[in-house]
Amino acid sequence: MSLLDTFGFFDDVRRMNKRQLYYQILNFGMIVSSALMIWKGLMVLTGSESPIVVVLSGSMEPAFYRGDLLFLTNYQEDPIRVGEIVVFKVEGREIPIVHRVIRVHEKANGDLKFLTKGDNNQVDDRGLYAPGQLWLEKKDVVGRAKGFVPYVGMVTILMNDYPKFKYLTLALLGAFVLVHRE
Instruction: Report which of 151, 168, 134, 110 is spatially closest to residue 125, judged by C-alpha positions.
Output: 134
The distance between the two most distant Cα atoms of the chain, rounded to a whole number of Å, is: 76
145's CB contacts (< 8 A; 6+ apart) are: 64, 70, 71, 72, 85, 86, 87, 98
- The active-site residue out of 48, 68, 78, 99 is 99
User: Residue 180 catalytic?
Assistant: no
H or E element in which residue 111 lies: none
125 is catalytic: yes
Question: Is there a contact between 48 and 72 (Cβ–Cβ < 8 Å)?
Answer: yes
Q: Which of 48, 68, 125, 140 is catalytic?
A: 125
133 HSE (CA, 13 A, CB side): 20
3 state SS of 52: strand
Catalytic residue among 59, 78, 119, 124: 59
Please give the positions annotated as active site.
Answer: 59, 99, 125
